[in-house]
Amino acid sequence: MNVQVTDWPDRLFATLKRAGIRQVGYVPDAGHSRLIERCRADAGIRDIVLTTEEEGVALAAGAWLGGERAALLMQSSGLGNCVNMFSLARSCRFPLLMLITMRGEWEEFNPWQVPMGSIVDPVLKLCEAEVYRVSKPEEVEGAAERAVQHVFGDERIGAVILSQQLIGKKVWIK
């Protein structure tokens, strides 16, 4: 399949729709701007802008209690804000699907992004999350599908990590 370099947010959106996601929580993020736009424009998805990412962990738990599926979009810096709130998902086995855009790893101009960006994978592992890391556009959809299956099929935490190499500069200067 020939996937255009900038198509991957649309592929992610299609995956969220196929998965029956009804609530999408996010803290605005340049790397996710296209996906956020698609969610905001969709009548079947409630888009919920958060003041901090940990709100989204609690939101997703509430959604599942009420029988709906949620997804949480964030950039890597936001992961650190979530760590204690993950105890909600871990203690109750709430499904938690996170799509995380990376900062601080490739062509990063802001050194303050590096401390959190550099510990994303070990933090997720310590929090018992399954990690699906992608750096090529054609890998995005398959990874997201696997994450959806794991998260909602088994009521677990899963994170699709969208590398900075994937996001590149195209999205940021559009």
* Residues near another protein, by CB under 8 A: 20, 22-23, 46, 48-52, 54-70, 84-85, 87-88, 91-94, 152
**Nearer to another protein by C-beta: 132 or 152?**
152
Rounded least distance, CB 132 to another protein, Å: 21
Nearer to another protein, 96 or 140 (CB): 96
- Nearest C-alpha neighbor of 102 from the set 33, 34, 165, 36: 165
Q: Give yes or no for a contact between 70 and 25, defined as CB atoms under 8 angstroms apart.
A: yes
DSSP secondary-structure letter at 112? G
Cα dihedral 25, 73, 41, 65 in deg (nearest 10): -40
Nearest approach in angstroms of CB 51 to another protein is: 3
Angle of the 8-18 helix axis to the 137-154 helix axis, nearest 10: 20
Q: Which is nearer to another protein, 65 or 114 (CB)?
A: 65
Nearest distance from C-beta of residue 148 to another protein, angstroms: 12
Instruction: In angstroms, give the least distance from the CB of 67 to another protein.
Output: 3
